[in-house]
Amino acid sequence: MNLFADIRALVLTNLAAMVEAGELPADLATQNVTVEPPRDAAHGDMATNAAMVLAKPAKMKPRDIAEVLAKRLAEDDRITSAEVAGPGFLNLRLAPVVWQGVVGAVLEAGTDFGRSDLGAGKKVNVEYVSANPTGPLHVGHTRGAVFGDALASLLDFSGHDVTREYYINDGGAQVDVLARSVYLRYLEAHGQEVAFEDGTYPGDYLIGVGEQLKAKVGDALVGKGEQFWLAEVREFATDAMMDLIRDDLSALGVKMDVFYSEKSLYGTGRIEAALDDLRSKGLIYEGVLEPPKGKKPEGWEPREQTLFKSTDHGDDVDRPVMKSDGAWTYFAPDIAYHYDKIQRGFDALIDVLGADHGGYVKRMKAAVSALSDGKVPLDIKLTQLVKLFKDGQEFKMSKRAGTFVTLRDVVDEVGPGVTRFMMLTRKNDAMFDFDLDAALEQSKENPVFYVQYAHARVTSVLRKANEAGVAVDHATLAGADLSKLDHEAELALAAKLAEWPRLVETAARTNEPHRVAFYLYDLAGVFHGLWNRGNELPELRFLQDDTATSQAKIALARASAVVIAAGLGILGVEPAEELR
RNA sequence: GGACCAUUAGCUCAGCUGGAUAGAGCGCUGCCCUCCGAAGGCAGAGGCCAGAGGUUCGAAUCCUCUAUGGUCCGCCA
């Protein structure tokens, strides 16, 4: 149920009736007609721009159209008043029974309230995290993980068939570096003195891996040349790193459907197949790139390479897929990987990447556009940097990794729920200063607490009602006489709940899960507002002398908790039953 | 030199893809807690939506240019 969609349908029906009655010309385009909550509540419950949108094509004055439409709409039981305002807005006030009905609908649907079929079962692949398997996840990955996971849940909630996927970059030079680093730790485990030079990973997290390797192979690899051990150690080390990463993800509550290995693209003809596809479209050629202007890279010299003609699909320059020495660039397996996603039948692809991959967006979109003949849209969401603050200072050091703050550091500080919620209190493409102390504070300043507190208050009301002998089981509340909810403050809370389905659709359409977090904060604010007014107006308290009245009010509270739980569910946060 | 992102109240940020008098939290000012639902509440001040053009009934939102900040730009992934 989506109240705004219902009322919009009502508006469209009446517009059609006006055409029928000769009050409007036929064949008017109505797709721009909207029904939305007005910014200023004084304007009413809902507003439609229908008259203004149609005025020009109908060659009529907006206010004239609005007058007629108002008269017709007012005949519907759900509408108590329809007033023309401003340049031609039509402000609608809805009957209390409509808002009361929202409460009933929430209780009936439970946390499925707001689920929509917007996605129509479309298969969407959301790729996120995809950190190199060379160490533990750090803060930047954490933001990507939270964002991607919440986005996936949001799309699922809005009717998409979602696959959560992690691309393991286990095919490039960085895993050789990893293997060499682990080998050094392995020698160390055998009591040798080793030096970590530039180009190796010195982090402590590899010590254990070196010891495990020793436990597995003994001294079989000691003193051998790289050609004897590189492949074996590489596999051992990347497996160990992926275990580490999986543990990190699960500490955050992220669960992937698919882990896709880059390595599996090599030697299997899949890269070649993807490039053949592009070649057959005339998009692969041998050529020489111009040097970047302004700044001349040192030692730049013109070189012939195999290039993808990405400029045909909106990129600024063509991109190399093969280096001059005949090896693939990193771009080639990425093309093959996305080719594979397309062949797996996804209707839409989403990549969640760190902002440092910004330069990569156009070429990847170009590749997907070319490979799918423009049929599969690829949306790339970039997550900006996160700066952590603790005790008023930037929080930089990690006990584990030595050089960067890990996901574990953050989760250990504030817990997975707070981490997830806080990471979504900012748009993905805005930088984020994350204050760890503020995230644990119990005040209105802290959005996580504020939302959780609202949920906990409802739990507390239910408990108190039980103690007072008022039945508040699900069936009783669902059958409560909601017409007793007649105060403006109560109806306002119900109206806020009515926005939830609409918000889900907007957030899903824009791939912006942060909107859910902001909505929850808003909703909690309205709930707390009602609660607080109970201080001065005893009739607004949830527990009343009259059982039926209590049950109606508690139904409203319960409905609020249900929507909060649904929203937190999308964000991957457990709702709190009580706060201590 | 170019690409992408950002720029909204003193500070940190939203702004529902073009709607009415631009919102929230913090901070600031004033009022309110013997007790009954104050881990607070109510009210107020505070804005050239970075700047300049354009598009139209209507722009913080779309287009162009400029400024500032960030990220990136073959032989790393």
Instruction: Provide φ and ψ at A320, rounded to 5°.
Output: -75, 140
List residues bridging with A393 in a β-sheet: A390
Residues 6+ apart with CB under 8 A from A331: A308, A319, A320, A321, A363, A367
Distance CA A421, CA A143 (A): 10
User: What ranges in A344-435 are assigned the alpha helix state H?
Assistant: 361-371, 407-414, 416-423
Q: In Å, what is the separation between the CA of A132 and the C1' of B77?
A: 8
**Residue A541 Cβ < 7 Å to strand B:** yes
Q: In Å, what is the separation between the CA of A493 and the C1' of B35?
A: 29
**Residue A48 Cβ < 7 Å to strand B:** no
Q: Which nucleotide is nearest to A521 (CA to C1')?
A: B24
The residues of A between 4 and 33 with beta carbon within 7 Å of nucleic strand B are: none
Residues 6+ apart with CB under 8 A from A328: A271, A321, A322
pLDDT in tens, chain A (580 residues): 689 999 999 999 999 999 999 999 888 888 888 898 887 777 889 999 999 989 888 888 888 899 999 999 999 999 999 999 888 889 999 999 999 999 999 999 999 999 999 999 999 999 999 999 999 999 989 999 999 999 999 999 999 999 999 999 998 888 999 999 999 999 999 999 998 887 788 888 999 999 999 999 999 999 999 999 999 999 999 999 999 999 999 999 999 999 999 999 999 999 999 999 999 999 999 888 877 665 555 666 778 889 999 988 988 889 999 888 888 998 999 999 999 999 999 999 999 999 888 888 999 999 999 999 999 999 999 999 888 888 877 887 555 555 678 999 999 999 999 999 999 999 998 889 898 888 888 887 789 999 999 999 999 999 989 988 999 999 999 999 999 998 988 999 999 999 999 999 999 999 999 999 999 999 999 999 999 888 888 889 999 989 999 999 999 999 999 999 999 999 999 999 887 6
A341, A344, A347, A349: CA torsion to nearest 10: -20
- According to the model, what pLDDT value does residue A101 have? 94
The residues of A between 267 and 286 with beta carbon within 7 Å of nucleic strand B are: none
List residues bridging with A46 in a β-sheet: A92
The residues of A between 129 and 168 with beta carbon within 7 Å of nucleic strand B are: 132
Q: Which residues in A319-472 belong to E strands, given as ranges?
A: 319-322, 348-354, 378-383, 386-390, 393-394, 432-435
A96, A101, A102, A105: CA torsion to nearest 10: 170
The residues of A between 243 and 262 with beta carbon within 7 Å of nucleic strand B are: 262
Q: In Å, what is the separation between the CA of A124 and the C1' of B68?
A: 38
Nearest residue by alpha-carbon distance to C1' of B4: A358
Q: Which nucleotide is nearest to A522 (CA to C1')?
A: B24
Q: Which two tokens stand for residue A268?
A: 């299997």
**Residue A430 Cβ < 7 Å to strand B:** yes
CA nearest neighbour of A7 among A111, A109, A77, A88: A77
Q: In Å, what is the separation between the CA of A391 and the C1' of B9?
A: 27
- According to the model, what pLDDT value does residue A395 have? 80
**Helices A547-571 and A514-536, axial angle in degrees (round to 10):** 160
Q: Which two tokens stand for residue A278?
A: 């592009």
The single residue listed with the structure tokens 């959780």 is: A452
Half-sphere exposure of A137 (CA within 13 A, CB side): 30
A304, A324 Cβ separation under 8 angstroms:
yes
Q: Which nucleotide is nearest to A356 (CA to C1')?
A: B71
A178, A180, A184, A189: CA torsion to nearest 10: 70
Distance CA A378, CA A27 (A): 35
Query: Predicted ipTM?
Result: 0.92
- According to the model, what pLDDT value does residue A298 have? 62
Q: What is the DSSP letter of A400?
A: T
**Residue A433 Cβ < 7 Å to strand B:** yes
The residues of A between 314 and 373 with beta carbon within 7 Å of nucleic strand B are: 316, 320, 323-325, 329-330, 355-362
Q: In Å, what is the separation between the CA of A506 and the C1' of B60?
A: 19
**Residue A199 Cβ < 7 Å to strand B:** no
- Residue A48's H or E segment, with its range, is strand A46-48
A 10 A CB-CB count for A13 gives 13
A49, A30 Cβ separation under 8 angstroms:
no
A306, A322 Cβ separation under 8 angstroms:
yes
Q: Which nucleotide is nearest to A505 (CA to C1')?
A: B16
State the first-to-last Cα distance of chain A, in angstroms, to the nearest integer. Answer: 36
Q: Which nucleotide is nearest to A444 (CA to C1')?
A: B25
Distance CA A92, CA A101 (A): 17
Q: What is the DSSP letter of A314?
A: T
**Residue A384 Cβ < 7 Å to strand B:** yes
Residues 6+ apart with CB under 8 A from A304: A286, A287, A288, A324
Q: Which nucleotides of B are covered by protein (CB under 7 A)?
A: 1-7, 12-17, 19-26, 37-42, 56-58, 70-77
Give pTM, 2 decimals.
0.95
Q: In Å, what is the separation between the CA of A556 and the C1' of B7?
A: 41
A46-48/A89-94 β-pairing: antiparallel
Q: How far is CA A220 from CA A90, A216, A224, A226, in A?
A: 82, 10, 8, 13
Distance CA A259, CA A561 (A): 35
- According to the model, what pLDDT value does residue A456 have? 92
Q: Which two tokens stand for residue A381?
A: 């969401």
The residues of A between 481 and 500 with beta carbon within 7 Å of nucleic strand B are: 499
Q: In Å, what is the separation between the CA of A476 and the C1' of B75?
A: 71
**Residue A208 Cβ < 7 Å to strand B:** no
**Residue A172 Cβ < 7 Å to strand B:** yes
Q: In Å, what is the separation between the CA of A422 and the C1' of B9?
A: 23
- According to the model, what pLDDT value does residue A438 have? 87
- Cα–Cα–Cα angle for A530, A531, A534, nearest 5°? 95
**Residue A410 Cβ < 7 Å to strand B:** no
Q: How far is CA A323 from CA A327, A329, A330, A366, A513, in A?
A: 5, 6, 10, 20, 39
Residues 6+ apart with CB under 8 A from A200: A177, A180, A181, A184
Q: In Å, what is the separation between the CA of A59 and the C1' of B54?
A: 26
CB burial of residue A50 (10 Å; 0-12, 13-18, 19+): buried
Q: Which nucleotide is nearest to A543 (CA to C1')?
A: B37
Q: How far is CA A120 from CA A117, A375, A511, in A?
A: 5, 17, 16
- Give the type of residue at A355: A
A46-48/A79-85 β-pairing: unpaired
Q: In Å, what is the separation between the CA of A445 and the C1' of B32?
A: 21
A7, A33 Cβ separation under 8 angstroms:
no
